[in-house]
Amino acid sequence: MFLQFLFISSALLTIACSIAVLITKNLMHSCVFLLGALVGIAGLYATLGADFVAVTQIMVYMGGVVILMLFAVMLTGGKDFVSRAQNLLGLPASMGNKWTYGVGLLVGVVFLLTNIKLISGITMNVAGQPSTQTGSTVNQIGHLLVKDHVLAFEISSVLLLGALVGAAIIARPRKHN
């Protein structure tokens, strides 16, 4: 029952946020919806029993979205995203509406359920109790990465380093002579 609820809520969140990423025109809103879609995907991975991939999704990709938002603000000059109605009426910046609170609540619920699923799998395996699932995949993936596929692992780290250097070169200010 828990896994079914986690799957349905994760699927709905992923679909809704993915459509919202395509529809919205504001860069910051698009990044926030992308964050929601990535939370939903992590929940889907957790329901499949791929705990390593779910944690990687949370740590790497969701952290990457935060960095993406920072780069977006830096590259666009750090302008405040204020609507025309707020400028005309002199209103303070709003913290959201019913739609954004609903999406935020769904993201929070899926994130909480995903973490409950991942943590319960860890505690059951540590306590030595038999799990109803196939067990943790972390040991198997770690063994494969360090023993059998170490070259691919090192090549991916060099690729990520190159992407980081390229992003730093693109983001630095230009000198005009």
Residues 45/51/53/54 CA torsion (nearest 10 deg): 60
With beta carbons less than 8 A apart as the criterion, state whether 57 and 45 touch.
yes
pLDDT the model gives residue 12: 92
pLDDT the model gives residue 14: 93
- Can you give the pTM of this predicted structure? 0.63
pLDDT the model gives residue 133: 52
By CB atoms closer than 10 A (0-12, 13-18, 19+), residue 62 is: middle
- List, for the chain, all residue ranges whose pLDDT scores fall below the cut of 50: none
Distances from the Cα of 112 to the Cα of 116, 138, 141, angstroms: 6, 21, 25
Alpha-carbon radius of gyration of the chain: 20
pLDDT digits 0-9 by tens, 66-118: 777 767 766 765 555 556 655 666 655 555 667 777 878 888 888 888 888 87
pLDDT the model gives residue 16: 92
pLDDT the model gives residue 28: 73
